[in-house]
Structure formats: structure tokens, C-alpha cells
Structure 1
Amino acid sequence: METIRSRLKLVKQAEPVRLRRRTSQLYSREDARHLGTGVWRVALCSVAFRLANCFLVQTSFVPDEYWQSLEVAHHMVFKYGHLTWEWKAGIRGFSYPLVFAFMYKILALMNCDSVYLLIWLPRITQALLAAFADVKLFYLVQTLENSHVSKWTFFCQLCSWFTWYCCTRTLTNSMEATLTTLALFYYPLPGSTTHSSKKYLTLVALAVIVRPTALIVWFPLLIHHFWQEDNKLRFITHHVIPVGALTLMSSTLIDCLFYNKWTLVQFNFLKLNVLHGVADFYGSHPWHWYLTQGFPAVIGPHLPLFLHGCTLASKRYRVLLVAVVWTVLVYSCLPHKEFRFIYPVLPICMLFSGISLAKLKTWRRVAAYGLLGTNLLAALYTGLIHQRGALDVTGRLQMLCDTAIASAAPQPDLLFLMPCHSTPFYSHVHCPIKMRFLECPPDLGDEGYSDEAEQFFAEPLRWLGLSFPSRSSLPTHLVLFDSLEKEISPFLEGNKFVRTATIFHTHFPEGRVGGYILIYERHPETDRTHYSDP
């Protein structure tokens, strides 16, 4: 009897525990359901936003977004085009262009390889990857902080004018920034519940394959993880070495296949850019450029919030702040500097900006509206107006190709009298017409080296006279900036070249880059009517 009573007592005591467990399970399921719904909303919002972002960026930024990706992919699939000196020197890897080449090949097999799809499909892919990175950033901050901070971080990420300007472009820097954000989601930050060493190391390795300089951003983060790891030997042997070896072998195999010889791209990149200082050929800046111009311009109106967020963030984010400072300082030591080089640290900066906005109370609404308004103006201007002529002119040239094919007329022969790589090439024309531009490879010690672009701009009329001694050798069309027009006007008039298009490029012409791009056509028999873009 006593035994029965004791058992009943134990059952009664256990009931509340079971009830609490069931209640806890119900609450956790409900929280997971709400969390899942919230993530889907964020995902749909981000995808819609980045697709709009993609189609509202209609300007050019730097030549690499075409010449190191789409032009290479076009050459791989369609077997015509131009590969720059980097591919001849073996300092670029084929892994990244191979992604776009795969798309181009599918389009070609389906007989759907229109210029429109060749241009926009890679950019739509970049936009979807950028949206995926936005969602991961939101979810990461939600697990580290709370939904309040994650919403404001997401707001800051979407507001960033430079992210808008870059994330949908086919730049290696854009892919590097996307992969860095995805890797941070799995990085072992204190309090993170999504930690996976293999996943984040794989993403870091892919970023390094796409652009070797990605290792600069991740160096302090990798050192910090190694220092915090309890079993350091296991971390090296079970994670770092297998992931690094597999990705390096895969990329090397791809490069050897397309170079048709043994090529270690990462070594060639280091040798030419660091040991031989080839990057200096494209310009140098003072050591403080990133501190006084580069970083403030890239982070834009977020800068006060970022600085405020750095003072509020907990110690667990210190390693992220170190990564930002380290990256800016390392790039400051290199002579050649560009805004896009520090783009991969921008998502990290958005975390600190989000923390700042979440902590603000009285001034939060003013700060949010100010952030939105200033970034919106910069994003729309740089995305729709500034340097759009480089893309608009290729559309006009593609029409020339269509006209020649439809009328069975002689194929156009185009010469770009512009700073080298000023416009996209066959990836945006997709027609095997004859096109030529002024080349400007750096001096790699080759015999007979010459910088064609430098020789032309030093004495344009003399260069034209030597290059085209007879009228039969003249091109049918010339493409040039308006800043050059007056200087070569004797050549244009003497050889019956008539301006047929005036295309707006920028409100801020600088040096050899003019405000308008001009197309001249040689038509000795009859004058052509001049027209301008509205």
C-alpha cells in the first residue's frame, strides 16, 4: 500500500514537469513557425528589392566587370572575342567566368543567345545571390542579438548606396562580398547557433579562388578562430587542409584545362602584383586615401552610425571590427587603390550601423529618413546616369551589326579611340564584326613592348597617319569621347567621317574621359544625318 502511495506521489510530482515540457515544446514550435514566416518575408522582400536593384543599375563602373568575367565567358563559349593581357599572363582564374560560360552554353544550345539574355542573365544571378546574402545577414544578427537589431541591420544593408551600385554587377569583388557575407553566417562568433567550420571555410576558399585578395579580409578572422579552437590540430587536419586542398585542386584543374598548360593562378597573381608591382601601372594613391576618401565614400551616410555602433557593440564583435580596420590598413599599404577593393567589409559595417540605429530613440526616425534619402539619391544617380554611355554605345553598335546582316551590306569595321577597356566588347554586341581598341598592357619585360593607348594620346594625328596610310585601310566607324574630337578633327574631315551619334556618358568628365561618346561613320559619297540621344 505504501509503495502504491509513493508511486502516485511521484506521478503527481512529474505531471507539472511534463506539462512544462509540452508547453515549452509548443512555444518552441510556435516560435519556429513565426521565425520561418519572418525569414520567408525577408527573403521575398530581399529578392524583389535586388531584382529591382539589378534593372535600375544601367551604368558602367570599372572595366573588370566585363573584361574579367563576361568577355572571358563569351570567348569560352562562342570562340571569338578578346582576352586581356591578364589571361595571357595567367594571373586570372577561369572558375568565376566558367559560371557565366555555363549559362551562355545553355542559352546557345537552346538557340536563345540573344544579346539581352547574355547581358542580363548573369546580372540577375548576381542579384539573387546578393539577396541570399542579405537574408543570411538578417538571420545572423537575429540569432546574435534580437529581431529589433536584425531589422535595422537589414534596413542599413538595403539602404547602402555602394551595395546597390555594386552587388548586381559581374565583378569579382561583388562575388567576394557575397561569399564573405555567407561565410560570416557560419563563422563561430560567440552566441552564434549556426556555426559550421566546414561550411564557412568552404565559402572562404571559394572567395579566395574568385579573388585571392579575399584572404586579406579573412586573415584576422581565421587567426581568431584558430586561437579560440580547443582542438587546434583537429581544426587544421579535419577542416582547413581538406577544404583548402580540394578547392585549390579543383580551381587548378579548371585553369589548366582552359590554359592548356600547367598554371597556378594564385602564384602568378602574387608574383606579378606584389613582387613585380604590376598594379602600380594602373595608378597609385597616397597611403591615407582609404582613410580620407575611399572608406568614407564607400560607407557613405552610414559613417556616423558605424562609428556610433562601434562604441555600443559588445566585445564579441571586436574581431569583426578588427577585420574591417585590418583590411583598410593593408589596402592602404598598397600603391594602387580603388573603392571596390574594400567593398567586402561593407556588410560587416552594416551590422554596427544596425546596432546604432536600434539603440537610438529620440533621433532614430530622423536618422532613418536621412539615411534613406541620401543613399537613394546617390544610388539612383550612379545607377542610372553616371557613366551610362559605355553601355548605351554598345547597344547602338549592336544595331549596326543587325542592319548589316539584314541588308547584306559590308560588315562594319570599328575602332575605339578611347582609353583601353572603356566599354564592354563582344559580350554586349554578340556579333563577330571587326572591332579593335587601343591596347595598354603593362611592361612585363617582353621584347618589343609598346603601350598603344599611350602612344596614340601622345600624338593622335601622327598615330592615325601611320596606322592608316591609305583610305582603303580606314575603319568604317570610329568611337571616341568628345574631349578628343577637336584634336583629331583634321583626320575626320579629311577622310569624310561624319558624326552619326552623340551619347551622354557623364556630368563629370575627367582627363581623357569626356562627357559624351561620339560615333563617326565614314561615308564619302553622301552625308549622313546627325542624331543625338534625347
Structure 2
Amino acid sequence: MLPSSSSSRTGTGAGHATPTVHTLSISKVIIGLVFFRLINAILVKTYFSPDEYWQALEVGHNITFGYGYLTWEWLVGLRSVLHPAVFAVLYKGLSLLGLDDGPHFIYAPRLVQALFAALGDFYAYRFAYRLFENQVTANWTLFLTVASWWNFFCSTRTLANSMEASLTIIALYYWPFIGTSSGKTKGNLKLSLFIASLTCIFRPTAAILWLFLGGWLILGLVRQGRWASILYTGLSAAVIGGGAIVASALLDKTLLYKEWIWTPINFLRVNVLEGISLFYGSSPWHWYLSQGLPILFGIYIPLVLIGSYRAFQANTGLNASLKRQVLYLSLWVVFVYSALQHKEWRFLYPILYPLLPFAADTMQRLFLSSTDWKRSKSRIAVVVALVMVNGIMAWYTTLVHQRGVVDVMNWVRETSRGVGSHDQALSFGFLMPCHSTPWYSSVHLRDAAPVPMWFITCSPPLGDVDPAMYKDESDIFYEDPVAFMDSLFKKRSPTTGTPKESHLVLFEDLITTTPDMRVWLDGQGYHECARFFNSHFHDDSRRRGDVLVYCTL
């Protein structure tokens, strides 16, 4: 735990000054972090991962209001409803208060996630003090987590990974690492196990981290011959973990599935054993080393590497064993995730917080390496560079890149609000790669029927379907967009073949690379009625350019 005094002494070795370091007020830190993350949540205007909406808010909206698209994962029982239930409860509360309308309904889930993000920041700060027992290092950790572009970009998004990262650092803070004197109470073990169980329910792959820690703890207790502790730890894990799984299954049955389903088993069977996750892309083994970690840590990478190297080299000293356990854990997580073919940056998010203290240790050594550290222009330049680089990346990713797909849904909501009973009915078709935009959770209107919308799907090959021969709806559409639309409209109206959608939403790339599509739109009576900037570049060519809305009204 952090020292309770208002100031402390922090030395760096013989020959160096020992400045007085003031301990930050815990209450002020918490209030400041909550305020900062709430502002952070409001400033996020862009799209990152479909799961932020389709695996969280859309499911919560479906539970609360009875409509909202459920992707294939929910139809085969791959995911627990626990994470979406957080937002379902929020939606229910807003509905009862008559507040389920307008921008506040859209921002509310992210504001809730902002509270978890603030907890993640705070426990990263506390964990740093537990690791190094150095207030300066803890303070620098707080600075680094707040300044992190990735945290600003991702921590307040309603991704299960974001909540997993915050809960993981809390559980690590209370975990009884072997060979350390801190955190060894039975209450801490139970609390850590309970929080760890929640992370594994949110994200079954979180078990990769916790199985390593549990195995390391048991092995250490065996070496020490502490058989009673082994029995207690094993029973605690079985009771708390098993109880959490059963409680989660009951929640799943009650809120969504209406039958007993063991989602962690289904998740591993479908994604790992059957390899369905590969349908959504695979990457080489080095991807996390060449892209994942550099993206996650950004300009902090050199600081993390230097701090980690120093910790590995220190065989003795304050908490040397604890530091190495954290580093071994991080290496294990990267190694196992690298062995899995489907990779995404956000999967490594849980190791960001525990590694930031090592970057902070590098910072405190850099700044305390001379008695004139406050006046050192070169050292001040380092801080300025950290803030500027992170600030530019945070600004671009949260306010600019992939903004149009969010803005267009706000436009859809407000356009739907202005339609009276005497007007032509609105309906929207999204001619985009699947899950390119938010869905009903972003166009919800109080006391209004859901506006008809459809999108081009991309469900994977399930069951006995041959993956090599399988084509999803997106594949078929992009092979010949005009033929796809002609076929679709003729099925709906065999006599005239006329469209039913009053609006079609698409990326600019579709009409620039397929001129026949523009001709088809003109022939069907569509004209461009709205345009939203989306991105300057995109790794998926189908998503390049502005977001366009074509109307017949």
C-alpha cells in the first residue's frame, strides 16, 4: 500500500541528492482520475473495433428493449452476457427515468466505462508502489498511464478488453505473489480470485494470464512445503471460480439464452479447436512483437525495455522476485497470444498497466541522476516529447480517424426523429463490410419504433460447411455489387424490382472503384444527400473514403 505520510524520502544511491517527494492525496488522485476519464469518454468520437458496440451495447440494448442485432456468437452461446448486462442495467435505469433518448443515452455507457478506466489508472499507480516501494516511481506511473495515447484511445470504450485490463491490474495488486511479504492476507487472495474470475468470464482467454500466476504460486508453495496454503489456495480458486461460472451461467440463462449454456467451453471449442477465429484474419507469429507492443506502448517502448532489463539483471534487492514474476507473466502472455493465429492489438491490453511501472522506474532514474534534475533541459524535453507524441496520437485516433461511421449513425437517429406519421417511411441499407458502424444502440429513440435497417452480413462457416468453399454475404456482394443489389430487390418485389430502402449508406470507395454502382444508384432514383469524413487512410480498401448516404426521398 502507499505510504500514509504526506511526504517521503527517495534515494537513488551514493553520491546523489535525496529530494523530498510528496505523497499524492489518495482522494485527490481518485477524483482527478475520474474527472479526467469522464472528459476522455466524452471526447471519443471515433470507431475502433466492432466489439465495442456489437458484443456489448447492442446486446445490452436487446436485453433491455427487446430489439438489437445479435451476432452469430450469441446465437451459438459463445459469450457470457455478464459484460453486456452492465449496460443493460444502465439502459433500464435510463428508461425508467425517461432519459433513454438524445446524446446522453449514447454517452452514458462510455461514462460508466470511464469509471472502470479511472480504477485501472489508480491501481496501476498503487501497483507501481507495491513493485518498487518508491513514491517517485508510483508518481511517474500515474503520469504515464494518464499520458498514454492508447489509454486515452481505448480505456473508455465499451470493449470487454478495456474492462478486462482495468480489472486485471486491480486483481494483480491484491495477488499474493510468491516470495513477497505484501498482499499475503487470505482476504486479498479471495478478492483477487473473484476479480480474476470476472475477467475470465468477460474474456475466456484471460485464463492464459491467471493460469500462469496460479501455477507459479502453487509451485512456489510446493517448494516451501506449505501444504496447508496449497490446500487453501486450491479450494479458494475452486469455490470462487466455480461459483462465478455457475452464477454467470444462471445470468446467461435468465437474461438471454433461456437454457443452461457453458460459454467458456463453447468459446474455446469454436474459436480454438474449430479455428473459427481464423475466418476473421490471421497474422504471423511475430505480429505482437513487430506491431502489437509498439502500438500499445508507443513512445514508451524504450522506457519499458530499459526498465525491464534492469529488473531482470537485479537478482537481489527490493522486490526483485516480484518484479521478475511480473515480467515473466508478461512474456508468457505475449508468447501464448503469439502462438494463436488470430491477433489484435487490444488482446494485449491487460499487460499495459503492469508494465508501465518499469517505464516509470526508467523515468525516475533519468530525472534523479543529477542534483540539477529540475533544470535539465534535456530531461524536460523528454517529458514534453512524451506528452506531445501521445497527445497527437490520442487526438487523431479519438477525434479524426474513422469518425464518419459514428457520425452517420447520429445522423440516422436525428433524421428518424424528424419523420412524422404522414411522411414516407424511412429504411436504411448499409452497403459496407459487416459491422462497419454502430447499430440500434446508437439510433435509439424513446417511444419510437425501431427504424428498419439491414447490413451485409459476414457470419463464419459453422457446422459441416467447408471453409475453403464458403463465401459469406460480404464476399458475394463485393464480387459484383450491382448484381447483388438487383437480385436483392427483385426478390423483394418480383414485378418491379424497385428498392424498398429510402436510404443507402456506403463508403466512397464502392462508387470510385465500381463505376457501375454509381450508374445503378442513379437508375434507381438515388442521389447523394449526406457525406461524412471518415479517414485519411484505411488498411481495408473497402472502407476507404468518406461515408456517403444516398436517398430517394
Q: Report if TM-score (shorter chain) is over 0.5.
A: yes
Tell me the distance in 2 between the aligned counterparts of 1:517 and 1:343.
30
Provide the residue aligned with 1:422 in structure 2: 436
What is the DSSP-based 3-state SS (H/G/I as helix, E as strand, rest coil) of the residue aligned with 1:308? helix
Q: CA deviation at 1:293?
A: 1.3
Deviations 1:204-245 (A, max 9, x none): 000001110111122222222222333343333441111111
Tell me the distance in 1 between the aligned counterparts of 2:422 and 2:114.
39
- Checking the alignment, whether the CA contact within 8 Å between 1:461 and 1:491 is kept in structure 2 is yes
* Superposed counterparts of 1:184-223, under 5 Å: 184-189=172-177, 190-193=180-183, 196-223=188-215
Give the alignment partner of residue 462 of structure 2, picking from 444, 447, 451.
444
- Checking the alignment, whether the CA contact within 8 Å between 1:413 and 1:475 is kept in structure 2 is yes
Give the alignment partner of residue 511 of structure 1, picking from 508, 517, 541.
541
Provide the residue aligned with 1:274 in structure 2: 272
Q: CA deviation at 1:63?
A: 0.3
Tell me the distance in 2 between the aligned counterparts of 1:110 and 1:72.
21
**Root-mean-square deviation over aligned CA pairs:** 2.1
* Superposed counterparts of 1:99-498, under 5 Å: 99-144=86-131, 145-189=133-177, 190-193=180-183, 196-229=188-221, 230=226, 231-257=228-254, 258-313=256-311, 314-361=320-367, 364-405=379-420, 408-431=422-445, 432-445=450-463, 451-469=472-490, 470-486=496-512, 487=514, 488-498=517-527
Tell me the distance in 2 between the aligned counterparts of 1:41 and 1:494.
63
Tell me the distance in 2 between the aligned counterparts of 1:502 and 1:130.
33
Tell me the distance in 2 between the aligned counterparts of 1:31 and 1:161.
30
Tell me the distance in 1 between the aligned counterparts of 2:208 and 2:465.
35
Tell me the distance in 1 between the aligned counterparts of 2:23 and 2:389.
33
What is the letter of the counterpart of residue 192 of structure 1? S
What is the letter of the counterpart of residue 442 of structure 1? P
Tell me the distance in 1 between the aligned counterparts of 2:277 and 2:103.
33
Tell me the distance in 2 between the aligned counterparts of 1:339 and 1:481.
25
What is the letter of the counterpart of residue 478 of structure 1? L
Tell me the distance in 2 between the aligned counterparts of 1:60 and 1:398.
17
Q: CA deviation at 1:96?
A: 0.8
Deviations 1:403-424 (A, max 9, x none): 113x631321110000000000
Q: CA deviation at 1:276?
A: 0.6
- Checking the alignment, whether the CA contact within 8 Å between 1:312 and 1:355 is kept in structure 2 is no
Tell me the distance in 2 between the aligned counterparts of 1:35 and 1:76.
48
Tell me the distance in 1 between the aligned counterparts of 2:537 and 2:23.
47
Tell me the distance in 1 between the aligned counterparts of 2:332 and 2:549.
46
* Structure 2: unaligned runs, 5 residues or longer: 9-20, 312-319, 370-377, 491-495
Tell me the distance in 1 between the aligned counterparts of 2:551 and 2:24.
59
Q: CA deviation at 1:371?
A: 1.3
Which TM-score applies when normalising by structure 2? 0.86
* Structure 1: unaligned runs, 5 residues or longer: 1-26, 524-534
- Checking the alignment, whether the CA contact within 8 Å between 1:401 and 1:411 is kept in structure 2 is no
Q: 1:465 to 1:318 in 2, by over 3 A?
A: same
What is the DSSP-based 3-state SS (H/G/I as helix, E as strand, rest coil) of the residue aligned with 2:79? coil
Deviations 1:493-531 (A, max 9, x none): 1011000011000010331112200000014xxxxxxxx
What is the DSSP-based 3-state SS (H/G/I as helix, E as strand, rest coil) of the residue aligned with 1:198? helix
Q: CA deviation at 1:472?
A: 4.0
- Checking the alignment, whether the CA contact within 8 Å between 2:127 and 2:169 is kept in structure 1 is no
What is the DSSP-based 3-state SS (H/G/I as helix, E as strand, rest coil) of the residue aligned with 1:321? helix
- Checking the alignment, whether the CA contact within 8 Å between 1:39 and 1:139 is kept in structure 2 is no
- Checking the alignment, whether the CA contact within 8 Å between 1:63 and 1:423 is kept in structure 2 is yes
Tell me the distance in 2 between the aligned counterparts of 1:158 and 1:30.
22
- Checking the alignment, whether the CA contact within 8 Å between 1:115 and 1:428 is kept in structure 2 is no
Q: CA deviation at 1:255?
A: 1.4
What is the letter of the counterpart of residue 65 of structure 1? E
Q: 1:151 to 1:119 in 2, by over 3 A?
A: same
Deviations 1:284-318 (A, max 9, x none): 11111111111111111000000010122333211
Deviations 1:80-104 (A, max 9, x none): 1211111001101111111100111
- Checking the alignment, whether the CA contact within 8 Å between 2:6 and 2:23 is kept in structure 1 is no
Tell me the distance in 1 between the aligned counterparts of 2:391 and 2:210.
30
Tell me the distance in 2 between the aligned counterparts of 1:117 and 1:238.
45
- Checking the alignment, whether the CA contact within 8 Å between 1:390 and 1:505 is kept in structure 2 is yes
Q: 1:111 to 1:28 in 2, by over 3 A?
A: closer
Tell me the distance in 1 between the aligned counterparts of 2:165 and 2:506.
34
- Bigger radius of gyration, 1 or 2? 1
What is the letter of the counterpart of residue 132 of structure 1? L
What is the letter of the counterpart of residue 413 of structure 1? S
Q: Which deviates the most, 363-372 or 148-157?
A: 363-372
Deviations 1:184-217 (A, max 9, x none): 1101242435751001111100000111011112
What is the DSSP-based 3-state SS (H/G/I as helix, E as strand, rest coil) of the residue aligned with 2:69? coil
Give the alignment partner of residue 45 of structure 1, picking from 32, 48, 60.
32
Q: Which deviates the most, 233-242 or 156-165?
A: 233-242
Deviations 1:155-176 (A, max 9, x none): 1111111111111000010011
Deviations 1:44-73 (A, max 9, x none): 221122112111211110100000000001
What is the DSSP-based 3-state SS (H/G/I as helix, E as strand, rest coil) of the residue aligned with 1:320? helix
What is the DSSP-based 3-state SS (H/G/I as helix, E as strand, rest coil) of the residue aligned with 1:192? coil
Q: Which deviates the most, 357-366 or 244-253?
A: 357-366
- Checking the alignment, whether the CA contact within 8 Å between 1:221 and 1:320 is kept in structure 2 is no
Tell me the distance in 1 between the aligned counterparts of 2:281 and 2:130.
43
Deviations 1:114-140 (A, max 9, x none): 142332111111111111221122123
Q: Which deviates the most, 484-493 or 296-305?
A: 484-493
Tell me the distance in 2 between the aligned counterparts of 1:334 and 1:503.
37
Q: Which deviates the most, 513-522 or 463-472?
A: 463-472
Q: 1:451 to 1:149 in 2, by over 3 A?
A: same
- Checking the alignment, whether the CA contact within 8 Å between 1:218 and 1:323 is kept in structure 2 is no
Q: CA deviation at 1:368?
A: 2.0
What is the DSSP-based 3-state SS (H/G/I as helix, E as strand, rest coil) of the residue aligned with 1:468? helix
- Checking the alignment, whether the CA contact within 8 Å between 1:96 and 1:210 is kept in structure 2 is yes
- Checking the alignment, whether the CA contact within 8 Å between 1:134 and 1:157 is kept in structure 2 is yes
- Checking the alignment, whether the CA contact within 8 Å between 1:140 and 1:192 is kept in structure 2 is no
What is the DSSP-based 3-state SS (H/G/I as helix, E as strand, rest coil) of the residue aligned with 1:520? strand
Deviations 1:374-431 (A, max 9, x none): 11110111010011111100011011211113x6313211100000000000000014
Tell me the distance in 1 between the aligned counterparts of 2:300 and 2:29.
22
Q: 1:197 to 1:35 in 2, by over 3 A?
A: farther
Q: 1:398 to 1:30 in 2, by over 3 A?
A: closer
Tell me the distance in 1 between the aligned counterparts of 2:23 and 2:123.
13
Q: Which deviates the most, 367-376 or 177-186?
A: 367-376
What is the DSSP-based 3-state SS (H/G/I as helix, E as strand, rest coil) of the residue aligned with 2:103? helix
What is the letter of the counterpart of residue 503 of structure 2? H
